[in-house]
Structure 1
Amino acid sequence: MNCILLPAANFSHPYAYINTASQIEHVNKVLGAQVGDTLKIGELGANLGTAIIDSITADKIQLSAVVLNIAPPAKLDVTVILALPRPKVLRRLIMDMTALGVGHIILINSYRTQKSYWQSPMLARLDEFVLEGLQQGVDIIVPTINLKKRFKPFVEDELASLITAGAIVAHPYTELSLAAYLQQQQAACFAASIPLVSANTVNKALPTVVCIGAEGGWIDYEIELLAKQGCQAVSIGPRILRTEAAVNVIMGQWLLHC
């Protein structure tokens, strides 16, 4: 973790305390911090900053001189719709998307999502995985995560309202590449006389919705249903990637142009 994030209840400015076992262990064993050292901290939903260690015990680290004066990085202007993956993969994906700055995540059912995945205890630990991602990405704004167990009703009744500037669905068997899609969007922006400048050019062309399948991807029926709501199928190359690799490759476009 690259900063220690604490809930508002742990603050009484200019003091705060750490009482979570994993965070205490990180400060002691990973950082090797001692009394008098400065830590990077943040208040969930507020700001980032620093604090000085006043005392360390087995179950509590007392902090003083708390200063929270650094605004969090902006969230990426994108909603990721992800077919619920295998439970072991879910933790990594939630952590990665949170660290990358995705502001809205929707976990959805798909043909290749096994029914047992929806009963996994990992779903009850999403807040834990989000916290890990926030501490990795040095952020304090929690993304919204929604669970949608019925694919067709969600796509037909809710998806269109989420699309404000284009939508894509990752599909390795389509001819249109993500790079070509972005070029098309840029050209459309110019044709519509939308002002674009330098680094913001691609940013203006980035879609606001990205649909990514679980292992095995989407079936043709799902691709067709998504397409009816305005999702353009794109590929990121001839290689078949794991879901977590695909998420990171695609979201990298936002990081490069945010």
Structure 2
Amino acid sequence: MNKIVFITGATSGFGEACALQFAEAGYDIIINGRREDRLKQLKKDLEEKFSVRVLSLPFDVSNRDAVFSAVDGIAGDWRNINVLINNAGLALGRDFFDEADLDEWDTMMDTNVKGLLYVSRAVLPLMISQNKGHIINLGSVAAKEVYERGNVYCASKFAVDALSKSMRIDLLRHNIKVTAIHPGAAETEFSLVRFKGDAAKANAVYNGFKPLTAKDVADVIFYCTTVPEHVCINDLVICPSQQADAIYFHKE
């Protein structure tokens, strides 16, 4: 029987790259996202290219009832989840604190923090019943330093950092690993979403240096799940070589 990985936010970026990476390694894949058309296409692509099983679960991670209903409805051996990748998340806006949009604040906190909490809490009983599992939480370099006009996005990722540490401690007794992955600048849909579809602003973020790709991050995530059973990578920051942290870059 193949191992099973559950990936939230699988319709683009790190999530989609992880789905491809794990499917290539022979995992059966549970994919989640809000865009059902993209989930349907991804399911088709994974099944045809890698001959693995794929279960599609379209729901919004910030909707608590939808999360628990979807996970409770998982049947049969699909319940034997080995790896959960809490990837769903986003940034909205780059505004000064006193000028920011409150709805955007709510969306970031609901998705980046509450979504991670809901999905983890829903999936954990399935891992606990096996007395094993591995949870990967996608943070950010913004979880390590606060930068100007980052306010609530940074706060949400600081929360992911703290929750990952807390989960690691609390889940020791269940033999469940927890790893926080904190990527730096990566060329995905992230900036396009942050700047509300303004491609010029989004592309300018990556001028003057070579950013990470989604596959770079997926490679690291996969590696963290394949270390020996007695090894756990608790916390990992990955940046382009021309980026030191959330603030400092060398651009040419």
TM-score category, normalised to shorter length = 0.3 to 0.5
Say which one has the larger Rg.
1
> By percentage of residues, which structure has more helix?
2
> By percentage of residues, which structure has more strand?
1
The two structures have a TM-score, normalised by structure 1, of 0.36
The two structures have a TM-score, normalised by structure 2, of 0.37
